[in-house]
Structure 1
Amino acid sequence: MKVSSPFSYFVPTEITANLQYRAKLHRRVLEDSSFKEVLWDACAADPIFYINAFGYTYDTRREPFTKLPFILYPYQKEGLLEILKAIQSPSYDLLIEKSRDTGASWLCCLAFEWMWHFSPRLGAPSFLMGSRDATYVDNAENPKSLFWKIDYFHAHLPSWLMPVGFNRDEHRRKMHLTNPANGAVIDGETTTKNFARGDRRKAIFLDEHAVNDDGYLIDPATLDATDCRLYNSTAAGSGNSFYDKRHNSGIKVLRFHWSDHP
């Protein structure tokens, strides 16, 4: 899939105007059902349009109004495209050094989701996500968990924008998500020393890698499993695999710094 953003400029980023734009799209779909195909094609061509026009996110700090339209900040738009470029052929490892609350984990999840959602059947991707504890990988009651983010995103999409034939009871199981329309898969595992060993994936997402006690063992275990490893973490001092990757490996680095967040 080509990574570009040809349609995102249509979507307002001011929250009131954004919500009005979304309402306008929904009214148009109600008036002309064939417009769904136009929007589907736009979402398939442009991940930023997809998220900014249809996505919702969750913020516990906004009680009681925790559901918010997902409107990417400029640094998040650039970051999402960089993550997707790392996944595309030729793939490469990417280290994401982030401040807290900059949305990096969300962006990694949504990069996987966009490719899972819109890839053609021929060459549909298989992804793997991992974190240090199963609770942070897949827990329906924990917004910090990776699958929770994808589930929340799906729960607030229009039904016509979900893959044809998708049935949550059938295609969303513990640590597993299948797209019945193209065969794409997202799986999850706890990042133990045997994480991804003997596996083969389009890309692997390693969340909060700096605090993983098995980080040095995971590196060789994942080396033959994929050409793209997304090492995502807030820095946690030296003496860990994430620190050494950041400073001693020559890996490409993407930074999400708090000063970039409005």
Structure 2
Amino acid sequence: MPLPFPFDFKNPDYVQVFEWRMERLQRIRKAPETLPALRQFYRTNPAQFIIDWGMTTDPRNLDYGLPVTIPFLLFPRQEEWIDWIMERSRNHENGLTEKSREMGLSWTSVGLASALCLFNREMVIGFGSRKEEYVDSTVDPKALFWKVRKFIATLPAEFRGGWDERKHSRFMSVEFPDTGAVIKGEAGDNIGRGDRTTLYFVDEAAFLQRPLLIDAALSQTTRCRIDLSSVNGMNNPFAQKRHSGKISVFTFHWRSDPRKDDEWYRKECEKIDNPIIVAQELDLNYQASAEGILIPSEWVQAAVDAHIKLGIQPSGQRLGAMDVADEGRDKNACSLRYGFLLSDVQEWSGKGSDIYDSVVKVFGLCDDFGADEFRFDEDGLGAGVRGDARAINELREAEGTDQITATPFRGSGRVFYPENEAVPGDNGKPSRLNKDFFANAKAQGWWHLRKLFRNTFRALKGMEYDPDEIISISSTDGK
């Protein structure tokens, strides 16, 4: 029973909540003999305790005419998260939580830890983060232990358990005198180096500097470790665990927050003005947040059926492209485009066949598509495509069938138009030329593809564009 009345998270009425809480508190104070049973209930129902009595703070509320300190009303996904953690704890197993930013999980984890320690004897809960100031600071509200102290201090006296901040709170430690429980904090390489814990939260686990060192330490000091983090690419243990299939994963996407909707997302995208950050911190896209990424995921997604969105039709040459593989794990591929429209992509294994068979298949795909030319990667395995294509064309000529031109592309070769401008100069500096900016033709080709996706993304935002300098990806196979 979260609340006995409807609550609108977008337009909150905290007066009603305060009145409801005050009425309940008056009943408890008139009948204090009910407290032991209530405490016993909260012992295994921490989410309900937070909803009934917890408070949270958000200085940004002043912008909306709301008080900074408000009732802590969990929304459904936060309740589910607490239940999920309780299950992990009962089963003595670890868990991982991936989250969009600004989901209130710091406060939720602090409220859960405080509720458990208030009503469970000798429980020890740990919090760790990569920097000490993120764990404890007496003046910074973003610090986890600032939140712990605030949460306990704003509870009704009946539920504080004799807690006094001056007596029971030290740096990186909060004690609970009635139960002998404690919440402790650690930072950096010291995470997991202290005493054993019942439950341990690792905050922003994807951003730890030496995560493997911490993994080893925590494996010896807790049976239930909960990693929380926003996304930071794939090159870290957090991401690897998340995709391993060996650990329970809880996802906190921004759509789980009833305060947020598509209009909120649109405004956030405009405010952030960086598709990589949006994909990383809002959309939980592990690939988009990887360092050195060339084409943001948002640009690629926007290009799907871009010609339909822009109200234009493709024209020009029909062209194929082939990437050749052998009998190993890599696959052969053939893409087909009509002007700016990528119409179809096919892939197949080379197992049990040879390169010649794959070239024959590409010829057939080009015939079906109406393309009279395809390009192929001549580096490595592709070197044999030229001879196979010549042999196939000789057979086609003998049969009276139109020939298809196979044009080689050598990514390791010299750049095209070496004297042309690659990047304009600024502040009086000269432009960088293609021959100076690109190491080879492959790098130049990838950069050109990036520009096509960027131009398309901008066109869809209403900016002027050249139809010959965009790309559209068909959502359906076809000619």
Change (3 A) 1:143 1:11: farther
Contact 1:131–1:207 (Cα < 8 Å) also in 2: yes
Partner of 1:43: 42
Q: Which residue of 2 aligns with 1:78?
A: 80
Report if the CA contact (8 A) 2:113-2:183 is conserved: yes
Counterpart AA for 1:172:
S
- Once the two structures are superposed, residues 65-101 of structure 1 have per-residue CA deviations (whole angstroms, 9 ceiling, x without a partner) of 211111111111111111122122x211110101111
* Structural mapping, 1:8-47, within 5 Å: 8-9=1-2, 11-12=4-5, 14=7, 15=13, 16-47=15-46
Partner residue of 1:87 out of 86, 89, 111: 89
Give the whole-Å Cα distance in 2 for the aligned partners of 1:138 and 1:177: 11
Structure 2 gap ranges (5+)? 8-12, 259-479
Matched, 1:112 2:108: no
2:185 is the alignment partner of 1:188: yes
Q: CA RMSD in A?
A: 1.9
Cα 1:206–1:196 shift into 2, 3 Å: same
2:57 equivalent to 1:58: yes
2:251 equivalent to 1:250: no
Greater relative CO, 1 or 2 (CA 8 Å, sep 6+): 1
**Separation in 2 of the partners of 1:12 and 1:19?**
13
Give the direction of change, closer, same or farther, for the CA distance of 1:198–1:54 in structure 2 (3 Å limit).
closer
2:163 aligned partner: 166
Structure 1 Cα separation of the partners of residues 97 and 33 of structure 2: 40
Please name the residue that 1:238 is paired with: 234
Deviation at 1:198, TM superposition (A): 6.3
Instruction: Confirm or deny: 8 A CA contact 1:55 1:153 kept in the other structure.
Output: yes
Contact 1:216 1:240 in 2 (8 A): no
1:260 Cα deviation after fit: 0.9
Residue 155 of structure 2 is matched in structure 1 by 157
Write the deviation string for residues 210-234 of structure 1: whole angstroms up to 9, x where unpaired.
Answer: 1111112211121111111110000
Tell me the residue number matched to 1:229: 225
TM-score by length of 1: 0.87
Following TM superposition, by how much is the alpha carbon of 1:48 offset from its aligned partner in structure 2, in angstroms?
A: 2.3
> Residue 190 and residue 27 in structure 1: after superposition, are their counterparts in 2 closer, same or farther (change >3 A)?
same
> What's the offset of the Cα at 1:176?
0.7
Matched-pair contact (CA < 8 Å) for 2:47–2:112: no
Deviations along 1:90-123, whole A, 9 cap, x unmatched?
211110101111122222222222221111x3xx
Instruction: Verify the 8 A CA contact 1:11 1:53 in the aligned structure 2.
Output: no
Residue 100 of structure 2 corresponds to: 99
Q: Is the 8 A contact 1:42 1:49 kept in 2?
A: no
* Distance in 1 between residues matched to 2:123 and 2:169, nearest whole Å: 16
TM-score under structure 2 length normalisation: 0.49
Instruction: Report the alpha carbon displacement of residue 61 of structure 1 after superposing the two structures with TM.
Output: 1.5
- Shift, 1:9, TM fit: 4.4
Please list the CA deviations of residues 25-48 of structure 1 after superposition, one character each: whole Å capped at 9, or x if unmatched. Answer: 122234333344454344334222
CA gap 1:76/1:92 in 2 versus in 1, 3 angstroms: same
Q: Could you tell me how far apart the structure 2 residues matched to 1:190 and 1:228 are?
A: 18
- Aligned-pair identity in percent equals 33
Match of 2:126 in 1: 128
Distance 1:106 1:87 in 2: 19
**Rg larger for:** 2
Decide whether aligned partners of structure 1 residues 41 and 221 sit closer, same or farther in structure 2, where only a CA change above 3 A counts. closer
